[in-house]
Amino acid sequence: MRRSHRCVKDKEFHDMKKFKVELWSRESQEHQRAFRDQAFKLDEMVPSRTIADRLLQLYLDTFETTYRILHVPSFLTQYADYWRNPQKPDMAFVAQLLAVMAAGSRFYSESLARDERDSYQTSATKWIMAVQSYISCTFVSHDIDLGIIQTQTLLLVARLAVASDGDVAWASLGSLIRSAMTMGLHRD
């Protein structure tokens, strides 16, 4: 009698656990779908082409020469494609572009008026927050690919360049490392 009661309890426990997983999975998917539909409107945050060109070039001349996060020819092709048809952007690319421009804004020319430089620093902080939100709301472990790793790395570089949150930026390094390990990049 006791054994059959235990089997019933075990079955109920496993059924409840299965239900909970299905519920969380469905809720997570709905949350991600809703976010992707409105997702900070990343494409609306991209500045004019001349400013974007300048910030991109500043990033490429400073950070990319050292860190080599992007495959520059591929990124530049995507960049040109984006400006050819900005009505239907790839949000993953736009997130990377915003992170690149945020990092590049750190080296924006001192010869400009102080107010204009500060406005790009303010924009950079907004871009960083938008990309962080994009990553956290669209990131699912089975969706990890090199693009997500690149975006996380670019975001870390941008956060350190802008120094908007100081030492806290390094906390996100742990997430980046775990993402890379989940993808299997720690193996030979």
pLDDT digits (tens, 9 = 90+) for 139-160: 665 667 888 899 999 999 999 8
End-to-end, the C-alpha distance of the chain in Å comes to 54
Number of Cα atoms under 13 Å in the Cβ half of residue 21: 6
Q: Specify the pLDDT at position 93.
A: 96
pTM as predicted: 0.74
Query: How far apart are alpha carbons 40 and 18 in whole angstroms?
Result: 33
As a whole number, the mean pLDDT across the chain is: 82
H or E segment and range at residue 166: none
Q: Specify the pLDDT at position 95.
A: 96
What's the whole-number mean pLDDT along residues 11-38? Answer: 66
Query: How far apart are alpha carbons 93 and 87 in whole angstroms?
Result: 13
Query: How far apart are alpha carbons 146 and 152 in whole angstroms?
Result: 10
pLDDT score of 113 more than 60? no
